Chain A
């Protein structure tokens, strides 16, 4: 089936550690995105990528890093510099950059700092 796969679904991190969230899509989409969602809040854009080997900061990029070495993969690293990393993280993709294009979401990853 075509879609977006995020892993792991649940992740616990100790303070001071970096963690990487995986996102893979088989929709042949050029654009990919990472959003953060806090309880009862909307979606805030962390990073986005229009094409392989290119990515741009979103509204809340501090403390996060990404790479886009392959079209189908867009991993997100939550670094120790991110002060409040506990949140629900959503990966998404679209045929091209989102203006006028439908964005499709994965099922999300819960990150908890312990």
Chain B
């Protein structure tokens, strides 16, 4: 069926290391892939997104890569800091609606 799979479900890194979260989607027609960061007790906030006409997009320490052939996209966070600790969600449009992955709980240890 239509879904978005996200891995890993939890990720623990040391401060300064990189973190990578991966998502796969099923609808080859999907053309927009946002990533959200959710801090405890708050609503998700958009941190970066990518459209299908590009393969990579960067914003300071955050980057997203897209492989349309393989139908997967990844979030890369470099030089992680304790304030990066949160739950991260990927999403993809499927059937006219935005479908979210199950989330990755990132923990950055000082």
Contact = CB atoms under 8 A, between A and B. Distances in A.
A4 B45 CA distance: 12
Contacts of B31: 99-100
Q: Main SS of the interface on chain B?
A: strand
- Among B98, B103, B105, find the residue whose CB has the most chain A CB atoms closer than 10 A: B98
Contacts of B20: none
Contacts, number: 57
A48 B43 contact: no
B81 interface: no
A98 interface: yes
Interface of A: 4, 6, 40-43, 45, 48, 58, 90, 92, 97-108, 110
Given A4-B43, A99-B98, A107-B43, 20 more contacts: A6-B43, A41-B103, A42-B6, A42-B100, A42-B101, A42-B102, A43-B89, A58-B97, A90-B43, A98-B93, A99-B32, A99-B93, A99-B97, A101-B32, A102-B34, A103-B34, A103-B91, A104-B46, A105-B44, A108-B41
